[in-house]
Amino acid sequence: MIVDCHTHVGEEQHLSKDFVKDARTVSGNPNQTLAVDLKEHLKAMEPVDRAIVLGFRAHHVGYVVPNEYVANYVRQHEKLVGFASIDPHDEDAVEQLDYCVKDLGLKGLKLGPIYQNMHPSDPRFIRLFQRAEQLDIPILIHQGTTFCRDVSLEFANPVLLQPIARAFPDLRMIIAHLGHPWIGETISLIRKHPNLYSDLSALYYRPWQYYNALVLAKEYGVLHKLFLGSDYPVTTPQQSIDGLRNLNAPAAGTSLPTLSSDEIEAIINRDTFGILGLS
């Protein structure tokens, strides 16, 4: 079974002008759009058996997708599972999470301290980590850098998740994008915490970083904790699978270390839903 654990939906009205402008500036693509047509999302998911569709609520950067929108979409397609997103600045954040899980049927929580402009150890975040552990739902957390201009990198390092992993040992957390560019930090964290994982979304198009990241993950013995993801619409699952299969390209013609095709296929076919308790 192939799972894409990291996909986004959201229409133009859910995205602020600044968010789109910063994405276009940093990517160098003046036409980059992050708005998603749901028909195209579904079509892009054809190569995978299951996919996680993430909510996104970060008022600070102006990217706010209603949780109902995500729930409505995933309800119509058996292969999709939806994750709520909650902005920790909202006073009723815990009640919102309860509503998303119990009433909307969402199965996990997406957080992004850098986008939400809050330190992950802030008590307003801690109450969400605690509630997610009580509800027994996994969290996908963007702990890594981003293109947005008006954000604080000091909220973004994956090492900041260490006190949370220690305080909530039963909480299952996926660190998005291997915590780029702090990949070594992410690998140290997921090695020592049994319930911490990471996804490989939106990395393959930096082939040298990607190759080094996965060789490092192999040397530290954490390949079994890595999940396939696309970060759709940033990339598609097919591009991500192809990118992973092409991982060893920078080592071609050298004696540099590589991943075996068995190791690569094991990541692609990982039982992500089983590990996260979603099946």
Q: Residue 6 or residue 94: which is nearer to Zn ion going by CB?
A: 6
Give the range of 79-87, 122-130, 164-172, 225-233 binding Zn ion by CB under 5 A: 225-233
Q: Locate 155 and state its tokens.
A: 């909220």
Residue with Cβ nearer Zn ion (22 or 231): 231
Determine the length of the chain. 279
Nearer to Zn ion, 69 or 220 (CB): 69
Q: Which stretch binds Zn ion (CB under 5 A): 64-72, 76-84, 186-194, 226-234?
A: 226-234
Least distance from C-beta 6 to Zn ion, angstroms?
6
Q: Which is closer to Zn ion, CB of 4 or CB of 231?
A: 231
Question: In terms of CB distance, is 110 or 131 closer to Zn ion?
Answer: 110
Tokens 């739902």 belong to residue: 137
Q: Which of 231, 240, 241, 264 binds Zn ion (CB under 5 A)?
A: 231
Judged by CB under 5 A, which stretch of 45-53, 212-220, 223-231, 255-263 contacts Zn ion? 223-231
Q: Are strands 108-111 and 80-85 parallel, antiparallel or unpaired?
A: parallel
Smallest gap from residue 231 Cβ to Zn ion (A): 4
* Residue 4 engages Zn ion in binding (rule: CB under 5 A): no
The count of chain residues that interact with Zn ion, using the rule CB under 5 A, is 1
Give the nearest distance from C-beta 239 to Zn ion in angstroms.
Answer: 15
Summarize as ranges the residues that interact with Zn ion (CB under 5 A).
231
